[in-house]
Amino acid sequence: MSSQQVYVSMMLGDECHLVGRLWCHRRNGRESATFEYDPGWLQHPERFALEPALQLTEGAFQTGAGQTLFGAIGDSVELRDRLIVALY
């Protein structure tokens, strides 16, 4: 299995905040992803969930069966393309 870690950051006003980490996995021709919020983001006063499937809680979230990326992250075409290149 090969995995690639990506830091997920977001601009709020003039500041860049680390939101969490995304691991993209490739195993036996199948792709999946794991996401975990950064503890600092979970404590940030302006925090919010990236999407309903990624609730603001500690711990790792795994994509569902047949799902390569989480919706909010996969909707970013630029990020998705960079992740695909990084996996190959």
Whether 32 contacts 49, CB under 8 Å: no
Q: Label the pairing between strands 60-62 and 15-27.
A: unpaired
Among 42, 43, 46, 72, CA closest to 59:
42
Alpha-carbon distance 14 to 62, whole Å?
31
- Are 32 and 68 spatial neighbours (Cβ–Cβ below 8 Å)? yes
In tens, the pLDDT along 7-45 reads 888 888 899 899 999 998 888 878 888 999 999 999 999
| Cβ atoms of 81 and 68 closer than 8 Å | no
What is the pLDDT, as a whole number, of residue 70? 76
Span 52-82, pLDDT tens digits: 889 999 999 998 877 777 777 666 645 555 5
Provide the pLDDT confidence category of residue 1 given band limits of 50, 70 and 90.
Answer: low
Prediction pTM value: 0.79
The secondary structure of 36-78 as a DSSP string is: EE-HHHHH-TT---SSTTS-SSSSEEEPPTT-SS-HHHHT-HH
Categorize the per-residue pLDDT at 46 as very low, low, confident or very high, splitting at 50, 70 and 90: very high
